[in-house]
Amino acid sequence: MSYKITPDYKIFTDATADFSSSMLQGLPRVEVIPMEVTVGDDRFLYGPGSNLSVRQFYAMQRGGKYATTSQINPVAYRKAFEKALNEGYDILYLGFSSGMSGCYNNARLCMDELRTEYPKRKIICTDTLCAAVGEAFLVREALRKQYEGMDLDDLAAWVDANKLKVCHWFTVDVFDHLKHGGRVSAASAAVGGMLNIKPMLHVDHDGKLGVVKKPRGRNKAIKEQIAQMQAGWQPEISPLVVIGHGDDPEAAEKLKHAVENQFPKADIHIAEIGPIIGGHTGPGMLALIYWGNNR
């Protein structure tokens, strides 16, 4: 693989970003910082060098275990960033939304110190206000711009100017994990389960995850996702569309076919949703991510 311009900076993100291999094919390498996940009473590391697979994680969830996640601490950030700085690279970190985690603030504190210690290096910390496959979507597009030769400052500015155009529309198959995380009440979860409601969530302009609609059944939930994309898709930015799923490839294929039928020019990729967001939403989550004006 050869780049149009050899990059003199590295793009970092965290294990919240859920990529498929096809999303990264032919692009510069992204450095992914692992995160800690606790499932039941067991602690794991998820990301490069992890001891937890997506399949293993959802099997434990389906077995009745709940998950919690831990934010990346400044020491872990320093270890990852210093290696690149000592190799002579500048850094752009595209981090998990500050509306859902303290990771961004920890990275910013670490980078403030590193700028003093490495005054000749550019070190930029950016809050993506995105999560899961949405975060991966934005990082992937940043890698594309890097491949095309965009320099670090211009790319950081481009990400800030466009990150609120990344539209996330999620449906959740079960209420248990939303209830466990305090996002819905026990009464709402009980009623939702009885009525076969598939909550529609999105990531808002503050980078927070919230319930916006309550379609009944998977088919209606998918129709609602397609309706949102019809209302706001902006393929002139890029035709990239990412479908994410929480251990439900059949539902992902169903959503993919629906997107293909309505948007034949879409460049569709399917990615698994990992434990960082999956820990809060549970098995069966289905996400649709696109460039648009109706976040």
For 207-241, the pLDDT digits (tens) are 998 888 888 888 999 999 999 999 999 999 999 99
pTM of the model: 0.92
- Other CB atoms within 10 A of residue 194 CB: 8
Pairing of strands 123-127, 90-95: parallel
Residue 51's Cβ-side half-sphere holds a number of Cα atoms within 13 Å equal to 8
Q: Which of 37-41, 141-145, 194-198, 261-265 is the least confident region?
A: 194-198
Q: What residue type is 172 in one-letter code? A: V
Q: Are residues 118 and 174 in the same domain?
A: no
Distance CA 185, CA 104 (A): 28
Domain count, the chain: 2
Q: Are residues 230 and 260 in the same domain?
A: yes
Quote the pLDDT of residue 196: 63
Q: Are residues 24 and 63 in the same domain?
A: yes
Range of the domain at 180: 165-291
Q: What is the 3-state secondary structure (H, E, C) of 42-104?
A: EEEEECCCCCCCHHHHHHHHHCCCCEEEECCCHHHHHHHHHHHHHCCCEEEEEECCCCCCCHH
Q: Are residues 221 and 139 in the same domain?
A: no
For 163-191, the pLDDT digits (tens) are 999 999 999 876 564 545 555 544 344 33
DSSP letter, residue 99? T
Helical H segments across 163-217, by residue range: 176-180, 186-194
